[in-house]
With several copies, the nearest count.
Chain A
Amino acid sequence: MRLRFSRRSPGADVLIELRPAGFDPYAELQRYQTETLGHAGKYGATCSFVGTMRDFNENETVRRMFLDHYPGMTERQLERIAEEAKTRWRFLDALVIHRVGEILPDQPIVLVAVWSSHRGAAFDACRYIMEELKSRAPFWKKETLALGERWVEKNTGGY
């Protein structure tokens, strides 16, 4: 699912994608910047965040994970979050990629990147999108442990 909103709000483009298969966040950044981003020479700052699956959580070894989501609502909420960020900070473009389905340790779960003229906006908007995503985007993690499975109960705050 690829959701691109093209300059609907003043200034910024945002691409939001849900991915059922693994992705390389740095190859994505490179490709997006080269092929999609229309601002060569205009952006001075890019802040990106990559969330990666760890092989442990709350003192237990985690073998793999299933990421449930709510098709339609997940994309809509990510879009809302990006729109809010656009009203709060001046940036040129943003990219959000989030995995769904089966994930293995060391695989990327989420990439958020923001391109802007000045670094403050890039850092602030990237972090805002990440934090809001963590608290509002409808995703649910189920971990497979050495013995049995468990749903992750709650995300912790990131500030």
Chain B
Amino acid sequence: MSIRVRYFGSLREKMGRVDDILAAEDIDTVSDVWKAVSEGEYLPDRILCAVNMDYADPDAPVKDGDEVAFFPPVTGG
């Protein structure tokens, strides 16, 4: 399977990259995605998650072809 993982705001700078393409087979949830891109870390409470451009919980399922995004609290307006 293939999942595109995108980063925004300060998290993009912390990750040092704008996105990743995950090809791993053992990924079921948003949390799993985070672990895969962050060398096994738990998802920090303050990081927000989206699947296919809608907000999602860490335990939301992901599937092949999904776009998953991680970012800090929003500061627009």
Contact = CB atoms under 8 A, between A and B. Distances in A.
- A–B in direct contact per CB < 8 Å: yes
Interface residue tally of chain B, by bracket?
10 to 19
A4 B17 CA distance: 33
Please classify how large the interface on chain A is, using the bins under 10, 10 to 19, 20 to 34, 35 or more. Answer: 20 to 34
A70 B4 CA distance: 14
Contacts of A34: none
B65 interface: no
* Residue among B50, B53, B55, B73 with max Cβ neighbours from chain A (10 Å): B53
Given A110-B77, A137-B77, A68 B8 contact: yes
Contacts, number: 78
B74 to A, nearest CB: 5
A137 B77 CA distance: 9
Main secondary structure of the interface of A (DSSP, over half): mixed
B73 A137 contact: no
Given A76-B53, A76-B54, A138-B71, A69 B76 contact: yes
Given A70-B50, A136-B55, 14 more contacts: A69-B8, A69-B76, A73-B69, A98-B77, A110-B76, A130-B77, A137-B74, A138-B71, A139-B75, A139-B76, A140-B8, A140-B71, A151-B9, A155-B74
Pairs of residues from A and B, 10 with the lowest C-beta to C-beta distance, nearest first? A139-B76, A140-B9, A73-B53, A151-B10, A152-B75, A134-B77, A141-B75, A154-B73, A110-B77, A137-B76
Interface of B: 6, 8-10, 12-13, 50, 53-55, 69, 71-77
